[in-house]
Chains A and B, each alone.
Chain A
């Protein structure tokens, strides 16, 4: 787990000290049935999150009797435990964890706010407040800034990808995409880090997606597509994705920049990626892994029945794990007990608490 080095000096020290005491005086974990949690600001001294306690989060939509989405409920907690819930507006997201922090974004219709919630300390650090709509964001691998995808509040025009550093300075690193008739209007733009440190920006129409692999320092990018929703990026920069299927089973394809797509698995369900391997549903209740470069399939032990968890800035759930490990769920909902981690060299998934040892 990478420690987060997010430090923000904008909050008055006295306030931080007071709320920090209050936060630390409170048990860090409550059951999900408890009233919604409003995490207090983290004390300045506690802003550097270094704990190695594995944590998890899950976003659930809240739908009213008329069938309308009225909000998102974010549940987060440490390994082995239940969680605290934070009620968020409908246009919200969470990503990570990065260390013990979960990056949370919420748009109230007028502004988008981003916080880093320290799940272990039970507090939050404000990261950014934007007038544009921040659709999703990720903490950078060095923990020193975040990258955000923004759209215009009025027109929903794609405003591109922005980097916001620890002092709140924002700069655009990727321009927005123009509408392309082959893809239709953009439904989602998801961010994920490639193994080589580039940012993969995947914009999807209703079914087809294209990915830009961006060097966030130089701004240079390569485009890959079309594919279906992306699962991850290999160490040599190829995108691994489903084909544009709109359902399962669906082939898994590997597509390098400028290259054709090659099929690595002809029928797969949910899938996740770590390193160069893809862990996927090979049938109802069956889990298999495949090397995305060689196409070599291999069996897993005690993994059948588990559900692969997607990664990326729009993931609905996540949990701490090593960079090369894959995350799965025992059951249908991820929490501190159901999360399973499959380390890089292992063939048997372990509970979150065991994987952290």
Chain B
């Protein structure tokens, strides 16, 4: 009996290869596990396949591109002559008969990367690296291809493009790469869907880091008040928290540096009262108001256009205002 080991990843990979998807989302994730968050992965050139100078510079530039545009806690790369990870340039590449370059990742400690030499003959013609050949039309940008490989090493699989490739520039890690002068051939930072996958796999870089617009992460907003039953003219402090509610690494992350507004209910709906200020506590926003009448309040986070997060509003919180206090007053209350 045939043993068929199902693999969601491969099923997806092959299904995608058969029928380009219409949906849009983060790059798929490779199997084989992850490196540690923020680990520094050092590399060196192999003695048997040291790249020429311009190729070295392109690979180093791609390293810097990866480090600068990861927007996540994915590892960074650095060059060190004593590194155990290797990068090779030459004809002895372990990656099939096709392709421009390939990689090997062996988490949690090792990776390798191989680049075919300028002048390699393929069925379609001769490989020209732009950096080594005077940058003629039809050349491949080595920095872009190296960035694709660094992305693979981190964990990224090829982006699933729309049928018409209109989203090509959303990812550097592509099933096939463009040549000069097609749009995106020389992209030197991860695309938003590369970043989304890195954030999902490794978490966002800091609590102020914006979530990639390639996904749509739910958020949760809470609101509490220093008192919910006060005498007119009392200052009430409202405290809100904003956290991500995605899956895995993207769940329950405090979100700093965002705009959270305090709203109050009116006869026509909710209206903004004031923008709450961030505090020194991660994900916390605060403001104070003088209470003059009983009101329903809520905190609202509007998902901005430059970030892939959803809008969320806290449940309503009623602050009851009376003319004078009788008994124990004020008392505090909170929601969520």
Interface residues, chain A, with chain B CB atoms under 8 Å away? 59-61, 63, 65-70, 72, 90-91, 135, 151, 156, 158, 182-190, 203-209, 226-229, 242-249, 251, 253, 260-267, 269-270, 283-284, 293-296, 310, 312, 314, 316, 332
Contacts and interface: CB of A to CB of B under 8 A. Distances in A.
Given A69-B91, A182-B17, A249 B105 contact: yes
Contact of B52 (A67, A156, A253, A332): A67
B17 A226 contact: yes
Contacts of B103: 246-248
Given A67-B89, A245-B30, A204 B118 contact: no
Interface of B: 1-7, 9-11, 13-14, 17-18, 20, 30-32, 51-52, 54-55, 89-92, 94-100, 102-106, 110, 117-125, 129, 132, 149, 152, 157-158, 175-177
A246, A270, A316 interface centre (most CB from chain B within 10 Å): A246
Interface SS of B by simple majority: loop
Contacts of B51: 67
Contacts, number: 191
Contact of B98 (A72, A91, A206, A316): A206
A88 to B, nearest CB: 12
A187 B94 contact: no
Contact of A295 (B4, B55, B105): B4
Contact of B97 (A72, A204, A248, A264): A204
Nearest to A247: B103
B96 A204 contact: yes
Contacts of B20: 182
A207 B99 contact: yes
A276 to B, nearest CB: 11
B106 A158 contact: no
A65 B121 CA distance: 18
Closest 4 CB pairs of A and B: A61-B91, A295-B3, A67-B52, A229-B96
Nearest to A291: B3
Contacts of B177: 206
Contacts of A184: 175-176
Given A63-B90, A188-B122, A209 B98 contact: yes
Contact of B32 (A70, A90, A267): A267
A251 B3 CA distance: 14
26 contacts: A61-B92, A63-B117, A65-B52, A67-B52, A68-B118, A69-B119, A69-B120, A182-B20, A187-B98, A188-B96, A188-B123, A203-B123, A206-B175, A207-B176, A229-B96, A243-B10, A246-B95, A249-B105, A251-B31, A261-B10, A261-B11, A262-B2, A263-B6, A266-B5, A293-B2, A312-B97
A245 B123 CA distance: 20
